[in-house]
């Protein structure tokens, strides 16, 4: 058997909105480029979808200076949403995605509600099937507070995006909060079809070197990702699933097959693989094949039957 037993459909039980992918394994935003950058390393047919680099209205150069800092069990990044902008994406990247028939989530980011509304409208115009909204962005009209940390602001933002976009709407939640449940509830009530979680944690990397009699210190503050954040991600997914009925795409420290089982056990409906791609570019293919073989070996018809058995026990 190939990977046919991995085909899955994410369904909003309230509206019936669906997003069907070949496998539940998705390349996470910021780690998979825009289109086919991993084609030399993997069989793209084993990939359910990719989440594009975060796309903003205008092209962005990103942050200057050190943008990556390796830490034990992961990494800290401060890329600064470097990207080609929505028009650059539509002219150069989108045609390749369609030509190669690669399913994708268009990951979008903005600094104001209007940015998100315009991006959503453009995505709708081009009939892009799935949108992933990065709400861990500073809202310049609210003192640069993150949209995703205030349930009321998140509700209003999601509602306005929903008004402009008819496709499958996914909101990517931040873990940098005391309680993620009100945020998940706000997203569902505002019309999102799915939640992806978690985004990176706030972190600080410090390097100290002694040269002669002087100590040279370097710090990088940014988003922490990798295997070290998996316990936090598992906790957050379990909390989200307590309050919503829409599907959840889990991410945060997935590096091996056992991690998939753990995330499924707390309610995950699909998975995004991020930092691990930098260590092993074949990980998405490998995980899909391992999952398919496990399902067949244990007598399940497909991924959905296996997921149901694991989550209902």
Q: Is 93 exposed, middle or buried, given 0-12, 13-18 or 19+ CB atoms closer than 10 A?
A: buried
d(CA 284, CA 45): 11
Mean pLDDT across 39-55: 88
Chain-centroid distance of CA 209 in Å reads 35
Percentage of the chain exceeding pLDDT 90: 86
| Arithmetic mean of pLDDT over the chain | 93
What is the model's pLDDT at position 85?
A: 97
**Number of domain units in the chain:** 1
List of E strands, the chain: 8-11, 18-21, 25-27, 49-51, 68-71, 74-77, 104-108, 130-134, 138-139, 145-146, 168-172, 194-197, 201-211, 214-225, 248-250, 270-273
What is the model's pLDDT at position 62?
A: 87
> From the candidates 46, 137, 194, 228, which is the catalytic residue?
137
Q: How many residues does the chain have?
A: 313
- Known active-site residue 228: no
With 70 as the cut, is the pLDDT of residue 285 above it?
yes
Q: Domain containing 36: what range?
A: 4-63+84-200+226-312
Is there a domain that residue 76 lies in? Answer: no
Is there a domain that residue 261 lies in? Answer: yes
Is there a domain that residue 195 lies in? Answer: yes
Is there a domain that residue 99 lies in? Answer: yes
With 60 as the cut, is the pLDDT of residue 141 above it?
no
Selection from 291, 276, 288, 295 nearest residue 28 by Cα = 276
The predicted-structure confidence for 156-206, as pLDDT tens digits, reads as follows: 999 999 999 999 999 999 999 999 999 999 999 999 999 999 999 999 999
Is there a domain that residue 247 lies in? Answer: yes
Is there a domain that residue 79 lies in? Answer: no
Of 136 and 50, the one with more pLDDT: 50
Q: Specify the CATH number for the domain of residue 33.
A: 3.20.20.70
pTM of the model: 0.95
Cis bond before residue 263 (omega within 30° of 0): no
Is there a domain that residue 212 lies in? Answer: no
d(CA 276, CA 274): 6
Task: Check: CB of residue 174 under 8 Å from CB of residue 157.
Answer: no
The predicted-structure confidence for 94-108, as pLDDT tens digits, reads as follows: 999 999 899 999 999
With 80 as the cut, is the pLDDT of residue 138 above it?
no
Is there a domain that residue 50 lies in? Answer: yes
The predicted-structure confidence for 207-261, as pLDDT tens digits, reads as follows: 999 999 999 999 999 999 999 999 999 999 999 999 999 999 999 999 999 999 9
With 90 as the cut, is the pLDDT of residue 283 above it?
yes
The predicted-structure confidence for 50-82, as pLDDT tens digits, reads as follows: 999 999 999 999 888 889 999 999 999 999 889
């Amino acid at each position: 058997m190939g990977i046919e037993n991995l085909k899955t459909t994410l369904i909003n039980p309230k509206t019936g909105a669906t997003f069907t992918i070949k496998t539940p394994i998705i390349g996470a935003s910021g780690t998979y480029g825009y289109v086919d950058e991993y084609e030399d390393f993997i069989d793209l047919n084993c990939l359910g979808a990719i989440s594009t680099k975060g796309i903003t209205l205008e092209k962005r150069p990103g942050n200057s200076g050190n943008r990556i800092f390796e830490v034990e069990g992961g990494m800290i990044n401060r890329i600064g949403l470097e990207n080609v902008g929505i028009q650059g994406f539509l002219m150069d990247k989108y045609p390749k995605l369609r030509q190669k028939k690669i399913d994708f989530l268009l990951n979008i980011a903005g600094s104001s509600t209007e940015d998100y509304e315009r991006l959503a409208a453009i995505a709708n115009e081009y009939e892009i099937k799935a949108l992933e909204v990065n709400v861990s962005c500073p809202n310049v009209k609210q003192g640069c507070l993150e949209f995703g940390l205030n349930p009321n602001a998140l509700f209003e933002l999601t509602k306005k995006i929903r008004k402009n976009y008819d496709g499958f709407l996914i909101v990517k939640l931040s873990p940098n909060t005391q309680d993620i449940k009100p945020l998940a509830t706000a997203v569902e009530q505002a019309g999102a079809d799915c939640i992806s979680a978690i985004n990176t944690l706030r972190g600080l990397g410090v390097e100290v070197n002694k040269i002669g009699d002087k100590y040279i210190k370097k710090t990088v503050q940014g988003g922490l990702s990798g295997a070290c954040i998996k316990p936090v991600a598992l906790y957050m997914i379990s909390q989200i699933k307590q309050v919503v009925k829409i599907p959840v795409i889990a991410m945060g420290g997935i590096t091996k097959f056992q991690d998939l089982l753990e995330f499924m056990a707390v309610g995950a409906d699909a998975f995004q693989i991020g930092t691990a791609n930098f260590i092993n570019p074949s990980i998405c293919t490998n995980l899909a094949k391992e999952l398919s073989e496990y399902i067949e070996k244990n007598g399940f018809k497909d991924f959905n039957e296996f997921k149901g058995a694991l989550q209902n026990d």
